[in-house]
Amino acid sequence: MKSMILSAVMILVSSAALAADIEFSNPHVYVPLKGTNTTAGFGTIKNTTKSEVTVKVVSATPFKAVELHESSEKNGRMTMSKMETIKVAAGQTFELKPGGNHIMLFDATKPVEEKQTVAIKLLVNDKEQTVNFPVVTRLSKETKTEDKKEEHHHH
């Protein structure tokens, strides 16, 4: 019954006009590294509902393929692996950030430059939601790794 009402509502109201289940803040995509046409998208997903939401990534214009990735460190090397979905608990946020989870964008079909936007289509609880990601230049490498203690040799 509930699902019948939900689908009726979804037919009547376009997905863009539906109250979204998430707020996507600070969306941004890095300009692809020189000589590549692959890059990644970041931002913060906030679940605005009272139950868990599931987020999938469907497509990104102008890229041929898109995947959700998580980064992890194995034997001192960063590796990326594919995730099918992001699950965000009620009222919680999920961060997509460099060195962590991200939206991987493969094979741009045209040059992707600063001040453009990449339209990324998400499925949020199986409802389509498109978020526009401004393209920004890569920040100069974050210096957080400097936390690693320098070795001081005292004699």
Contacts with Cu ion by CB under 5 A lie at: 69, 80, 104
Residue 104 CB, shortest distance to Cu ion, in Å, is 4
Cβ-based nearer residue to Cu ion, 46 or 69? 69
Residue 10 CB, shortest distance to Cu ion, in Å, is 31
Handedness of CA 107, 22, 126, 7 (dihedral sign): negative
Measured between alpha carbons, how far is residue 120 from residues 20, 76, 100, 128 in Å? Answer: 15, 32, 19, 10
**Separation CA 65–CA 35 (nearest Å):** 18
Residue 133 CB, shortest distance to Cu ion, in Å, is 15
Cβ-based nearer residue to Cu ion, 20 or 57? 57
Cβ-based nearer residue to Cu ion, 10 or 80? 80
Cβ-based nearer residue to Cu ion, 104 or 108? 104
Two tokens at 100? Answer: 């962590």
**Separation CA 134–CA 154 (nearest Å):** 49
Q: Could you tell me how many residues make up the chain?
A: 155
Residue 62 CB, shortest distance to Cu ion, in Å, is 18
Q: Closest residue (Cβ) to Cu ion?
A: 69
Residue 44 CB, shortest distance to Cu ion, in Å, is 18
Cβ-based nearer residue to Cu ion, 15 or 71? 71
* Interacting residues of 30 by C-beta distance below 8 A, sequence separation 6+: 39, 40, 42, 135, 136, 137, 138
